[in-house]
Amino acid sequence: MKTEKNLPRNPSSIKTRFAVKFLQAMNKMNKRKNPSTSMAVKYKRYQFIRAAATSSMASAVGPRRAWSRAVLRKMRNHTAIHRFPMNNKTRTTRRFPITRRKRSSILRGNPRQEDDLGFGQEDDLRGLVPGGQGMDFCRLLSETAHYIKCLKTQVQVMTNVLHHYST
Partner 1 sequence: MSSRRSRSRQSSGASRISDDQIADLVSRLQQLIPEIRNRRSDKVSASKVLQETCNYIRSLHREVDDLSDRLSELLESTDSDSAQAAIIRSLLM
The contact set with partner 1 (CB under 8 A) reads 1, 7-8, 11, 15-16, 19-20, 23, 26-27, 29-30, 37, 42, 45-46, 48-50, 53-54, 102, 104-107, 115-118, 121-122, 124-125, 128-129, 136-138, 141-142, 144-145, 147-149, 151-152, 154-155, 157-162, 164-166
Min dist CB 82 to partner 1, Å, is 21
Q: Which is nearer to partner 1, 84 or 111 (CB)?
A: 111
- When the beta carbons of 31 and 83 are compared against partner 1, the nearer one is 31
Please give the Cα distance from 49 to 43 (Å, whole number). 10
Contact 143, 82 (CB under 8 A): no
**Angle at CA 141, nearest 5°, toward 139 and 142?**
65
Residue 34 CB, nearest approach to partner 1 (Å): 9
CA separation, residue 106 to residues 102, 122, 128, 136 (Å): 11, 12, 21, 15
Please, what is the minimum distance in Å from the beta carbon of residue 5 to partner 1?
12
Q: Is 30 or 93 the residue whose CB approaches partner 1 more closely?
A: 30
Do residues 153 and 15 lie in contact, with contact meaning Cβ atoms separated by under 8 Å?
yes
Nearer residue to partner 1 within complex by CB, 87 or 160: 160
Residues sharing a CB contact under 8 Å with residue 85, sequence separation 6 or more, in sequence order: none
